[in-house]
Amino acid sequence: MGTPGISEQQRHSVDRRCHIESFTAHSEFDSICYDSDVESNSSFESVEDCVDEGPDFYDDLLATFKAQGPTLANHSRNTKRMEEEQEEKWNEFCKRRGVNSLETLKECNAATFKTASWMKEDVLYDVRNWIHTYLTPAYRLDRSKAEKAGIYVEDLAVLLNHHWVRDKEVFAHERLRVQLAAHLILAGATATRPGALIGQLLYENLEF
């Protein structure tokens, strides 16, 4: 009894491939040679320097692979059904345009495959709300909102004290020390989101 879902062509390709792989594996081990008894016990074995097969062996191997063609995929029934539906739509599209379906597919012109369509509202709703509508009830996720804790003034004062008084780091230019202090204050006041307060901050906007 054959394996379900595998065609005769696929089974034949698998049998031939297993036979070739087995033959190649034996050929590799048989073709190993050693220059001395000492090297035969070593862990280094050079196969490339002692290959016995001639060009005919590789020509036959390539001819076999060429006859087999690419490895066939074993698609499920639903996948095959969807492929058939898309193939029918593609053939209908090419028929209305008066072009060859196979040649048009080979050309792979980007303008041909653009659909100029967008997701429907029901699909967009599912995409935007799948966490609340599916994941939250399914896994009993916590829906409570956690407060975004920004840095407190006391913490910022301690941080700036270490920066100005205790820090012994040598800056490439002391201007960078002043800039870092400004960044720390700005980050503390906006919870590390300065854009929420002043928009796009540029270097020319800072005054020293």
Mean pLDDT by 10 residues, the chain (208 residues): 48 50 46 44 45 81 91 89 94 94 92 83 87 89 76 83 90 89 81 61 72
Q: What is the predicted pLDDT for the residue at 3?
A: 45
Q: What is the predicted pLDDT for the residue at 196?
A: 59
Answer yes or no: are the C-beta atoms of 84 and 62 closer than 8 Å.
no
Q: What is the predicted pLDDT for the residue at 65?
A: 92
What own/partner pairs with CB < 8 Å and gap ≥ 24 does 177-186 have? 178/208, 179/206, 182/206, 184/156, 184/159, 184/160, 185/156, 185/160
Dihedral-angle region of residue 30 (phi above 0 means left; psi in -120 to 50 means alpha; beta otherwise): alpha
Answer yes or no: are the C-beta atoms of 160 and 185 closer than 8 Å.
yes
Answer yes or no: are the C-beta atoms of 178 and 208 closer than 8 Å.
yes
Question: 203: which 2 tokens?
Answer: 């270097």
Q: What is the predicted pLDDT for the residue at 42?
A: 43
The whole model's pTM is what? Answer: 0.30
Amino acid at 19: H
**DSSP H or E stretch at residue 158:** helix 153-161
Provide the residue count of the chain.
Answer: 208
Domain chopping of the chain, boundaries: 8-68, 80-117, 153-205
